[in-house]
């Protein structure tokens, strides 16, 4: 099934090993860019205590929540390590076209 | 069989794909077709991927010819060189070419390859602006390099751009690569390998400018003279090479009404939308994928030859790997080298040899790999990856390569170690073989890992062979083995403790996070949330003014200069020097609270005022107003100097012995802005009644009639600890110099997140006193280093951000711009 895609920003608008957020239909969406220029989008809420994941430190393909240091796998949204299986930040469909990040329209206001 | 009876096979494209397709057909059925090949270039078929060594002068054109004229003659192939095909009539099956050449076909192969992308920059048509695609390009580059001292700028830090730059540097040109992104060859390697690549290229005379946006090609008399970047930099050059990518060459297919996407669309039999027309190579698009590498082309040619000779072939797509062709720089990359969902990394670094290996595993199989510096095992990993081999049994030794792994395969780990030959190398970094280790263990009666390391150097560098050395120890020394001791590693990304990392940063002049990670052989590609902030601090402390702070390696509070709260809002605490404020400041704070509807205002324990519940987007505006009233950041969010708490002292108090408020303000003015291993709180009390609670601060001053007592190592948080008296000084100046020296010693020696009292417990108060109290020269040196560092840290971070610095951090991405329907 093809999505309706909405252009959000250039990949380079997001700092490497960083994130930016954008308003979504269910609250903010965090868009992450890894050190290897992979891009991921998750609902910007840590499964632990709803911390803003977009403000965490990005390392490898994971992010450390700024509130209590939980690690979240960017590709799956799942908590990692000892907390694995205890919750997940929902993924948002995303694609990169010619260096631009596009999100599935249904996730956006 | 006569000529009349043979079918006519026409190939458009005399390159690697076209000729390989013909070879494959001839191999299967040499007599089936009468073959005609059209080539746009004036040459016989040559190995295009070897143009880089030709440019570098390491090979000659003759060396890279694949099929000479005899081959065409022997196989009865008609070759039209320098002959562009202009149109195809697919109904009558006729090809029309320049010079009135007309050929009829039964089967037609399009192998038109690809064209170099030219950026539409102003000045792109100037003389001296070239691409790197064919022999003619190489010839013009070689010609340009013959002028002495000539300069080349290469746009594009991909495989081709780097090979072009290296080739030009080899020919004596000054070559500079301008790359849009921060990672070279970002489609093939990760940030760690890119860092090493940058260094290796520099040694070979190639400069790189990362994050460089080209804006205009500047020329004079129709000839290129320079490239201007968006940031205003001008890079003078005599030639400019555009190596920004390739695009499948599809024009002919398009005008012939064949199905075209990004490339010419083919099915698994390599057939285009016309049943008698086929496409192979870089011009073809198969299952949505176009390839720019040679291995997939060979796969396609085999499938196509099957289709043309014995019924339909089946091409199922290719898994690709890449090697960089720069002499002495081994780079290999394959598959999903950057990892991803459900993947796991094995990272190996050998700083001594400049080696970085990263193998990405997924469900017990290799999903990708990037190798730098030692790529001999690239094809082995690639074979395992393509075969989808289960490598869980090889996991422990996989990263050491095929030789190490195959010797041990199938045995249980201990038996495998026991079975290793005495000459088998265990520690690759230091070249130590098994025999040397077991002999040392036996003869020197070694019983723990550290002593094995000390005596043999095995596992003393990168530590990745530690499990192997431990097994050897266990096998050889048996029950005598002692558990491992030694400093605790910083985090799971490294085997080294904080102390060693700090020491080596200074001794080896390591000045960036990737440089530290390589030199100290980090086991992860880019660290984790514990080591990155620590390294960032250590580098900042070691190289004031030189090291560029890495915002992405800072905890959110230090990145946005405010304290994150449980609901994602922030708290803002302006500095109140020595706890003093004024009606003007209080009025400004009241106005800010009203204007921004700030929900809570709280007096802190550090004698300041906390504004709670500020939205991130509001922060720069809030700061601008506070700045306007003369207030700056209180650094209440940082591993930094927090407050200097004071009592009213001799100015007002009937017991006060000295001006404690005044000294507190002077200290805060001296020390503010300084980054430290953990937070630092000070207090100055005017008399031993200690109203400012100096004896539970990191550094506390208690004023007495005869001078100032300096206390250190207190805490009143998670742990409660009273300070210890370090010394007493006579004057205010002495107190200030001493305190700055203590702080600098702590900055240089403290481990990240280690408060002053823990540092003192570790090194002992006597060692601190010896350097800052007893040794006046050392104290003066520490003070001087502190003041030097302060030159770069006393800019108010709030004012910078209120003025627009880092705006996107605060504003987010804004509203989506356009809807792209598909």
Where do the domains of chain A lie? 5-107
Question: Are the C-beta atoms of B241 and B72 separated by less than 8 Å?
Answer: no
* B180 interaction partners in chain A (CB closer than 8 Å): 12
Q: Which of A24, A38, A59, A77 to mutate to test the interface with B (most CBs of B within 10 A)?
A: A59
Give the one of A7, A38, A61 whose C-beta lies nearest to B818's C-beta.
A7
* B556 interaction partners in chain A (CB closer than 8 Å): 55-56, 66
* C-beta atoms surrounding B469 within 10 Å: 24
What confidence score (pLDDT) does residue B460 get? 62
Query: Nearest Cα to B137, choosing from B265, B286, B246?
Result: B246
* B342 interaction partners in chain A (CB closer than 8 Å): 75-76
- Cβ neighbours of residue B115 closer than 8 Å, sequence gap 6 or more: B133, B246, B247, B249
* A61 interaction partners in chain B (CB closer than 8 Å): 338-341, 343
CB contact under 8 A, A73 and B529: no
pLDDT tens per residue across span B644-697? 999 999 999 999 999 999 999 999 999 999 999 999 999 999 999 999 999 999
Q: How many CA atoms does the CB half-sphere of B149 hold within 13 Å?
A: 1
> B353 to chain A nearest CA, in Å?
24
CATH second-level architecture of A5-107?
Answer: 3-layer Sandwich (2.102)
Q: Which of A14, A40, A55 to mutate to test the interface with B (most CBs of B within 10 A)?
A: A55
| pLDDT, average across residues B153-167 | 93
CB contact under 8 A, A61 and B340: yes
CB contact under 8 A, A57 and B532: yes
CATH of domain B330-406: 3.30.390.30
Give the one of A7, A15, A21 whose C-beta lies nearest to B820's C-beta.
A7
pLDDT tens per residue across span A16-46? 999 999 988 888 999 999 998 899 999 999 9
What confidence score (pLDDT) does residue B821 get? 44
What confidence score (pLDDT) does residue B818 get? 46
What confidence score (pLDDT) does residue B522 get? 92
| pLDDT, average across residues B539-550 | 94
* B617 interaction partners in chain A (CB closer than 8 Å): none
Instruction: Give dist(CA B428, CA B10) in Å, integer.
Output: 54
Residue B9 has pLDDT above 50, yes or no: yes
* B527 interaction partners in chain A (CB closer than 8 Å): 59
> A34 to chain B nearest CA, in Å?
9
Where do the domains of chain B lie? 3-114+248-310, 118-244, 330-406, 413-480, 498-554, 557-638, 641-790
Token output for B667? 């200290």
* A28 interaction partners in chain B (CB closer than 8 Å): 812
CB contact under 8 A, A4 and B821: yes
What confidence score (pLDDT) does residue B822 get? 43
DSSP state string for B563-576: EE-TTS-EEE-B--
Give the one of B339, B526, B820 whose C-beta lies nearest to A17's C-beta.
B526
* 3-state DSSP assignment of residue A98: coil
Ordered strands of the B174-179 beta sheet: B129-131, B239-242, B151-155, B174-179, B206-210
Give the one of B191, B555, B821 whose C-beta lies nearest to A36's C-beta.
B191
CB contact under 8 A, A9 and B551: no
| pLDDT, average across residues B711-725 | 91
Superfamily classification of domain B118-244 = FAD/NAD(P)-binding domain (3.50.50.60)
* B361 interaction partners in chain A (CB closer than 8 Å): none
Query: Nearest Cα to A52, choosing from B620, B812, B619?
Result: B812
| Class of residue B283 by CB neighbours under 10 A (exposed 0-12, middle 13-18, buried 19+) | buried
Q: Which of A23, A60, A67, A70 to mutate to test the interface with B (most CBs of B within 10 A)?
A: A60
* Numbers of helices and strands, H then E, in chain B: 28, 41
| pLDDT, average across residues B132-150 | 87
Which CATH fold would you assign to the domain B557-638? Answer: Sulfite Reductase Hemoprotein; domain 2 (3.90.480)
CB contact under 8 A, B816 and A20: no
pLDDT tens per residue across span A45-72? 999 999 999 999 999 999 999 998 899 9
Q: In this prediction, what percent of chain B has a pLDDT beyond 90?
A: 63
DSSP-derived letter for residue B319 is: -
Question: Are the C-beta atoms of B66 and B41 separated by less than 8 Å?
Answer: no
Q: Which of B340, B359, B570, B821 to mutate to test the interface with A (most CBs of A within 10 A)?
A: B340
Question: Are the C-beta atoms of B728 and B705 separated by less than 8 Å?
Answer: no
Among A9-13, B61-65, B71-75, B670-674, name the one with the lowest average pLDDT.
B61-65
| Class of residue B717 by CB neighbours under 10 A (exposed 0-12, middle 13-18, buried 19+) | exposed
CATH fold match for the domains B3-114+248-310 and B118-244: yes
Q: In this prediction, what percent of chain A has a pLDDT beyond 90?
A: 70
List the beta strands (DSSP E) in B338-419: 343-350, 355-362, 365-372
Token output for B298? 């060979």
Token output for B393? 């049994």
**Phi and psi of B651, rounded to 5°?**
-60, -40
pLDDT tens per residue across span B453-473? 777 877 765 555 776 788 888
Separation of CA B633 from chain center = 32
**H or E segment at B385?**
helix B378-387
CATH 3.30.300.280 fits B641-790, yes or no: no
> A76 to chain B nearest CA, in Å?
6
Residue B428 has pLDDT above 70, yes or no: no
CATH 3.30.479.30 fits B413-480, yes or no: no
CB contact under 8 A, B555 and A71: no
CB contact under 8 A, A35 and B191: yes
* A12 interaction partners in chain B (CB closer than 8 Å): 180-181
CB contact under 8 A, A49 and B817: no
pTM of the predicted model, to two decimals?
0.68
Question: Are the C-beta atoms of B622 and B647 separated by less than 8 Å?
Answer: no
What confidence score (pLDDT) does residue B323 get? 80
- Cβ neighbours of residue B144 closer than 8 Å, sequence gap 6 or more: B128, B150, B152, B173, B238, B239
**H or E segment at B663?**
helix B660-671
| pLDDT, average across residues B586-603 | 96
Instruction: Give dist(CA B191, CA A35) in Å, integer.
Output: 6
Query: Nearest Cα to B437, choosing from B419, B455, B415?
Result: B455
CB contact under 8 A, A66 and B524: no
What confidence score (pLDDT) does residue B413 get? 58
| Class of residue B318 by CB neighbours under 10 A (exposed 0-12, middle 13-18, buried 19+) | middle
Residue B360 has pLDDT above 70, yes or no: yes
What confidence score (pLDDT) does residue B820 get? 46
CB contact under 8 A, A52 and B564: yes
**Which one of 3.50.50.60, 3.30.200.20, 3.30.70.100, 3.40.630.30 gives the CATH number of domain B3-114+248-310?**
3.50.50.60
* 3-state DSSP assignment of residue A86: coil
What confidence score (pLDDT) does residue B366 get? 92
CB contact under 8 A, B190 and A35: yes
Residue B485 has pLDDT above 70, yes or no: no
What confidence score (pLDDT) does residue A108 get? 83
Give the one of B342, B532, B816 whose C-beta lies nearest to A6's C-beta.
B816
| pLDDT, average across residues B602-627 | 95
Q: Which of A9, A35, A42 to mutate to test the interface with B (most CBs of B within 10 A)?
A: A35
Kindly provide the ipTM of the predicted complex, given to two decimals. Answer: 0.89
Give the one of A3, A8, A97 whose C-beta lies nearest to B813's C-beta.
A8
Instruction: Give dist(CA B719, CA B736) in Å, integer.
Output: 27
Token output for B564? 């994150």
The single residue listed with the structure tokens 């939980």 is A70
Residue B497 has pLDDT above 50, yes or no: yes
* B533 interaction partners in chain A (CB closer than 8 Å): 57
Count of pairs with CB atoms under 8 A, one residue in A, one in B: 128
CB contact under 8 A, A4 and B190: no
Sign of the four-CA dihedral B803, B806, B811, B814: positive
| pLDDT, average across residues B580-586 | 96
Average pLDDT, chain B: 89
What confidence score (pLDDT) does residue B486 get? 66
């Amino acid at each position: 099934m093809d999505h309706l895609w909405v252009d959000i920003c250039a990949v380079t608008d997001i700092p490497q090993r960083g994130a930016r957020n954008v308003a979504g239909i269910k609250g903010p969406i965090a868009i992450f860019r890894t050190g290897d220029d992979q891009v991921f989008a998750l609902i910007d809420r840590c499964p632990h205590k709803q911390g803003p994941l977009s403000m965490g430190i990005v390392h490898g393909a994971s992010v450390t929540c700024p509130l209590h240091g939980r690690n979240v796998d960017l590709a799956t949204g799942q908590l990692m390590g000892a907390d694995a299986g205890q919750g997940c930040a929902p993924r948002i469909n995303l694609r990169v076209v010619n260096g631009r990040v596009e999100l599935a329209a249904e996730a956006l206001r | 069989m006569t000529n009349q009876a043979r079918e006519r096979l026409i190939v458009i494209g005399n390159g690697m794909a076209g000729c390989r397709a013909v070879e494959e057909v001839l191999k299967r059925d040499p007599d089936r077709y009468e073959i005609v090949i059209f080539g746009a270039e004036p040459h016989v078929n040559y190995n295009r991927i070897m143009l880089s060594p030709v440019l570098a002068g390491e090979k000659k054109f003759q060396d890279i010819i694949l099929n000479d004229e005899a081959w065409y003659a022997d196989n009865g192939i008609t070759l039209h060189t320098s002959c562009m095909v202009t149109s195809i009539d697919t109904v009558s099956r006729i090809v029309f070419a320049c010079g009135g050449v007309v050929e009829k076909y039964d089967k037609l192969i399009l192998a038109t390859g690809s064209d170099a992308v030219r950026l539409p920059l102003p000045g792109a048509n100037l003389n001296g602006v070239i691409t790197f695609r064919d022999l003619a390009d190489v010839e013009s580059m070689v010609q340009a390099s013959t002028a002495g001292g000539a300069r080349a700028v290469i746009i594009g830090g991909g495989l081709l751009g780097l090979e072009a730059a290296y080739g030009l540097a080899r020919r004596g040109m000054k070559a500079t690569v301008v790359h849009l992104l921060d990672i070279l060859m970002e489609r093939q390697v990760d940030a760690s390998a890119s860092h090493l690549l940058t260094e290796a290229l520099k040694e070979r005379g190639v400069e790189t400018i990362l994050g460089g946006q080209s804006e205009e090609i500047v020329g004079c008399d129709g000839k290129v003279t320079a490239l201007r970047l968006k940031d205003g930099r001008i890079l003078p050059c005599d030639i400019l090479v555009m190596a920004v990518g390739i695009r499948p060459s599809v024009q002919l297919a398009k005008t012939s009404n064949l199905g075209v996407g990004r490339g010419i669309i083919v099915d698994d039999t390599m057939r285009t939308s016309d049943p008698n027309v086929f496409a192979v190579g870089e011009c073809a698009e198969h299952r949505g994928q176009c390839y720019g590498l040679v291995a997939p082309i060979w796969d396609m040619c085999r499938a196509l030859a099957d289709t043309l000779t014995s019924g339909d072939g089946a091409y199922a797509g290719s898994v690709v790997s890449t090697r960089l062709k720069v002499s002495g720089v081994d780079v290999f990359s394959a598959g999903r080298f950057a990892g991803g969902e459900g993947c796991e990394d094995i990272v190996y670094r050998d700083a001594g040899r400049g080696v970085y290996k990263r193998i990405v595993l997924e469900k017990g199989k290799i999903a990708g790999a990037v190798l730098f510096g030692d790529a001999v095992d690239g094809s082995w990993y690639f074979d395992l990856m393509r075969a989808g081999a289960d490598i869980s049994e090889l996991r422990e030794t996989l990263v050491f390569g095929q030789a190490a792994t195959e010797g041990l395969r199938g045995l249980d780990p201990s038996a495998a170690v026991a079975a290793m030959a005495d000459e088998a190398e265990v520690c690759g970094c230091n070249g130590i073989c098994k025999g040397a280790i077991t002999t040392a263990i036996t003869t020197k009666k070694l019983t723990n890992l550290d002593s094995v390391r000390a005596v043999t150097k095995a596992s003393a560098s990168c530590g990745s062979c530690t499990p192997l050395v431990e097994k050897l120890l266990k096998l050889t020394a048996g029950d005598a083995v002692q558990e491992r001791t030694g400093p605790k590693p910083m985090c799971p990304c490294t085997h080294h403790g904080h102390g060693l990392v700090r020491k080596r940063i200074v001794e080896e002049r390591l000045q960036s996070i990737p440089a530290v990670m390589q030199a100290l052989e980090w086991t992860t590609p880019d660290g984790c949330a514990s080591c990155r902030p620590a390294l960032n601090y250590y580098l900042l402390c070691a190289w004031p003014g030189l090291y560029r702070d890495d915002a992405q390696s800072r905890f959110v509070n230090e990145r946005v200069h405010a304290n994150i709260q449980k609901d994602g809002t922030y708290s803002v605490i302006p500095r109140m020097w020595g706890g003093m404020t004024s009606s003007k400041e209080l009025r400004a704070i009241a106005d800010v609270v009203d204007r921004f509807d700030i929900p809570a205002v709280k007096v802190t324990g550090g004698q300041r005022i906390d504004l709670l519940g500020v939205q991130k987007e509001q922060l720069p505006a809030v700061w601008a107003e506070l700045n306007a009233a003369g207030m700056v950041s209180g650094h209440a969010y940082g591993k930094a100097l927090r407050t200097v708490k004071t009592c009213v002292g001799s100015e007002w108090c009937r017991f006060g012995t000295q001006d404690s408020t005044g000294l507190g303000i002077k200290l805060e003015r001296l020390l503010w802005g300084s980054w430290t291993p953990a937070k630092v709180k000070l207090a100055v009390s005017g008399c031993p009644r200690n109203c400012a609670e100096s004896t539970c601060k990191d550094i506390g001053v208690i004023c007495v009639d005869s001078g100032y007592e300096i206390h250190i190592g207190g805490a009143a948080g998670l742990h409660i600890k009273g300070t210890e008296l370090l010394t007493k000084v006579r004057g205010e100046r002495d107190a200030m110099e001493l305190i700055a020296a203590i702080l600098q010693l702590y900055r240089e020696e403290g481990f990240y997140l280690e408060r002053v009292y823990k540092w003192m417990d570790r090194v002992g108060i006597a060692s601190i006193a010896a350097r800052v109290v007893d040794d006046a020269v050392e104290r003066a040196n520490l003070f001087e280093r502190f003041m030097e560092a302060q030159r770069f840290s006393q800019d108010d971070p709030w004012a910078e951000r209120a003025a627009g610095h880092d705006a996107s951090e605060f504003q987010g991405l804004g509203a989506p711009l356009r809807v792209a329907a598909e």
